[in-house]
Amino acid sequence: MSENIKKRLRPGRGLVIGIPYTWLLLLFLVPFFIVLKISFAEQEIAIPPYTPLFVSDPDTGAQTLHVVYQNYQDIFHNFGNTLKSMLSLSAAEGDSNMYLRTYWSSIKTAFSTTVICLLIGYPMAYAISRANPSYRNGLLLTIMLPFWTSFLLRVYAWMGLLSQNGIINHFLMKYGLIDAPLDMFYNMFSLQLVMVYAYLPFMILPLYTQLIKLDNRLLEAASDLGAGPVTSFFKITLPLSKTGIIAGSMLVFVPAVGEFVIPDLVGGSENLMIGRTLWMTFFDANNWPLAAALAVIMVLLLVIPIVLFHHYENREIEGADRV
């Protein structure tokens, strides 16, 4: 392609690339910097309920930058003892840092949800990718069917299934399988179960798109060389599906950390996650600066795995280009 043609294509290419960047600028960066600005303010009984970042001197009219770090100090106070307590290294008596514990609870729950989704989703994605092409679309449809129903309605359905007067306990007691209702609701079991149910499709679909591209001739060659099914899986299938595993894990972990609806409806008060904490700080305590600081830290925590994923993805692309 000549240089003149390349020059004519560049404006169009810049426009196409500029649209998503403009979208991110308007709907992510600008709101993020507004929240960041609020996080350095103080709570105030006013509208809005926080102090301005720039204060005017009543005599001279000069603008003064008024930055407060107290919100971040409140979040990270007694950090060492709280960290030891969370890792079960010491008893950490008198520790009352709810915010760090909430972050830790959110990360633990999101991580366990991601692992369970991977363990369940990988065999399902592999089976769909190896199914007869005439059935494959139907199987994919069954994975996507839950998205046709309101997310809130699906969570409420689980409340009707798991509660002490719910369908499952009623069925088990009716046929004499149990004498008393099982405690399946408002605890870690119900939280983990509904989280996995809600995010499992986000793990299956990226894995399927990666596994469907697997060249069967590689497995046939491995079999001709004497490799069994297990060896072929760990030497060929699993490494070649690494990108799908990482993408699916990111799609599950990132939104699961900030999940609000599921912990609020089925998790109970003992399984507090950061989404619920943000809600209580914003609306119940009306402490916008502290809630903004909590949100900023959560975003920064989620940026780390996203950056690592993009770094790995770019490295994979560069490796493919060299080949």
- What pLDDT is stored for residue 89 in this prediction? 46
At residue 90, does pLDDT exceed 50?
no
Q: Is 44 left (phi over 0), alpha (psi -120 to 50) or beta?
A: beta
Question: Helix (H, G, I), strand (E, B), or coil: what is residue 51?
Answer: coil
Return the structure tokens found at 224.
């001709």
Least confident of 4-8, 38-42, 143-147, 237-241: 4-8
Residue given tokens 């493919």 in the structure block: 320
Residue 155 pLDDT grade (very low, low, confident, very high; cuts 50, 70, 90): very high
Contact yes or no for 36/291 (Cβ under 8 A) = no
Q: Higher-confidence residue: 3 or 250?
A: 250
- What pLDDT is stored for residue 57 in this prediction? 72
Q: What are the angstrom distances between the C-alpha of 263 and each of 106, 112, 124? A: 10, 14, 26
- What pLDDT is stored for residue 11 in this prediction? 62
Which residues, 6+ apart, have CB-to-CB distance to 188 below 8 Å?
267, 270, 271
**What mean pLDDT do residues 8-22 have?**
73
At residue 86, does pLDDT exceed 80?
no
**What mean pLDDT do residues 126-141 have?**
92
Question: CA-CA distance, 124 to 203, in Å (whole number)?
Answer: 10
Residue 1 pLDDT grade (very low, low, confident, very high; cuts 50, 70, 90): very low
pLDDT mean across residues, the chain: 85
Burial of 100 (0-12, 13-18, 19+ CB in 10 A): buried
At residue 94, does pLDDT exceed 50?
no
pLDDT tens-digit series, residues 273-317: 999 999 999 988 899 999 999 999 999 888 887 887 777 777 766
Say what percent of the chain tops pLDDT 70. 88
